[in-house]
Amino acid sequence: MNLRTKALNLLLELSAGPCKCPAHSSANFFPVSSQLSSNEKEYAFEIISPTVRFGPGVTKEVGLDVLNLNLKNVCVITDSNISKLAPLKVTLDSLAKHQVKFEVYDQVRIEPNEESFKQAARFAIGSNFDGFIAVGGGSVIDTAKAANLYSSYPHADFLDFVNSPLGKGKTIDKPLKPLIAIPTTSGSGSETTAAAIFDYTPKKAKTGIQGRYLRPILGLIDPEHVLSLPERVSAYSGFDVFCHALESFTTLPYTERTPRPSNPSQRPTYQGRNPVSDVWAQFALSTLNKYFERSVFHSDDKKARYNMHLAASMAGVGFGNAGVHLCHALAYPIAGMAKNFNPEGYNKDHPIIPHGLSVVVTAPTVFEFTSPACPERHLRAAELLGANVLNAKKDDAGLILSDVIRTYMQKLKIENGIGALGYTEDDVPRLVEGTLPQVSL
């Protein structure tokens, strides 16, 4: 079997498996059994596009947005670091100006876990909030989604909505309160997604909660906020964008997905790559080529930081409709088993491997492996990232792209391999064990 067929077959086999991925797999809002009505391949794709508003200073509109939604008492969720910075101040000033009643919860854990989700939910329960505003990175936005969910289901068991097999995977069957997300990192794209990710500490594994009602109703993409991003946060969260774009551009096409659902409402959000998700992914890749390095090392380079902020949301919409694959699947145990890694610039009292780092650390190897399935796309991605591929051979596509990725990693001072994150060969079996359940990726 040639390499191309082998890689394609493996990807097809994985994509046909039941969804177990916490964050980036197709959200199964319906029981899997009800979707398995046909073994025919998919013939259609659908684009679910969240509402986002981009512009420097756009946060000051949030008070009016809250009034337009007729909200009377909102819960503002942030972390203890952002609570001292401009993004929160601008948000609260706008709420005050428009006489909106609010309370602030600033105890979000960076890389949240089940306890920190529950703590935020306890804050929200009983306060009679009719809306939420998240001001922060993916950790904050995901915590706000969880607080919104559990305050709307105050009697639910925490594991009810957590993805199976760790949780019970129950469907969120009613709309939640409106959530407005104001991202302050250029990374997760959580303002556009329908997932909330956390470390499930009993299993030392990341997992998540998914459901269309978790998605914020509005993302205010204000690039002024990312001017204060520390260098390492800018680098690591930027590599999350990098992998969202690369993976969604090289994931299986929607036409290869089987079985196709019998009811259009059951078409998964992560449908496979399609002409529209390609647009978002390619935009993000060429933006990364122009601005990633500049934005990391020059916090005062407004043009670079603004463009990276836009690219993060664009890549979010792209992967939100296409899906991602191996880098993300491998990242969950890498991040979930973090031992002693303490990155600079992160506000935390516990070891963490930031999500973007856990994702990119395997990327050079991943794309060398996946290249035979669609070498033209791997070459195109390398080109968008700045490589000259004029006379390149398809057989070399994987090596070319992984060299490009390595060059970005070196320039942006990214740790070289999982050994640098504290893992030894003895950890490999558990890392594999944690990866295999991410079937759909």
Q: Which residues bind Fe ion (CB under 5 A)?
A: 240
Q: Verify binding: residue 161, ligand NAD, rule CB under 6 A.
A: no
User: Using CB under 6 A, which of 76, 120, 124, 140 touches ligand NAD?
Assistant: 140
190 near ligand NAD, judged by CB under 6 A: yes
Comparing CB distances to ligand NAD, the nearer of 196 and 397 is 196
State which residue has the least CB distance to ligand NAD: 138
For ligand NAD, give the closer residue by CB, 24 or 257.
24
As a whole number of angstroms, the distance between CA 282 and CA 380 comes to: 9
CB neighbours (10 Å) of residue 53?
Answer: 13
> Residues 137, 143, 146, 152: is their CA dihedral positive or negative?
negative
Name the token pair of 154: 């105050």
From 26, 116, 193, 277, residue interacting with ligand NAD (rule: CB under 6 A): 193
Which is nearer to ligand NAD, 312 or 382 (by Cβ)?
Answer: 312
Among 100, 103, 106, smallest CA distance to 66 is for 100
Binds 237: which of Fe ion, ligand NAD, none (CB < 5-8 Å by kind): ligand NAD
Binding track over 3-42 against ligand NAD, x by CB under 6 A: --------------------x-------------------
Site for ligand NAD in 296-325 (CB under 6 A): none
CB of 17 to ligand NAD, least distance (A): 20
Give the number of other Cβ atoms within 10 Å of residue 275's Cβ: 10
**Binder among 107, 347, 365, 407 for ligand NAD (CB under 6 A):** 347
- Tell me which stretch binds ligand NAD (CB under 6 A): 43-51, 121-129, 132-140, 267-275: 132-140
DSSP 3-state percent helix, strand, coil across the chain (nearest 5): 50, 10, 40
Q: Which stretch binds ligand NAD (CB under 6 A): 61-69, 165-173, 183-191, 431-439?
A: 183-191
Would you call 107 helix, strand, or coil by DSSP?
A: coil
Q: Which does 195 bind (CB under 5 to 8 A by kind): ligand NAD, Fe ion, none?
A: ligand NAD
Nearest one of 296, 236, 281, 242 to 405, comparing CA atoms: 242
Give the whole-angstrom CA distance, residue 395 versus residue 404.
Answer: 16
Residue pointed to by tokens 């990866």: 435
Q: Which of these, 84, 147, 140, 132, lies nearest to 112 by C-alpha position?
A: 140
Which of 52, 195, 205, 334 touches ligand NAD by CB under 6 A?
195
**Least distance from C-beta 152 to ligand NAD, angstroms?**
18
Torsion of CA 192, 194, 197, 203, to 10 degrees: -160
Among 10-18, 161-169, 195-203, 398-406, which window interacts with ligand NAD (CB under 6 A)? 195-203
Burial of 390 (0-12, 13-18, 19+ CB in 10 A): exposed
Number of other CB atoms surrounding residue 80 within 10 Å: 12
- By the criterion CB under 6 A, which residues form the site for ligand NAD? 23, 79, 81-82, 85, 110-111, 136-140, 142, 184-185, 187-190, 193, 195-197, 225-226, 228-230, 233, 237, 240, 346-347, 355-356
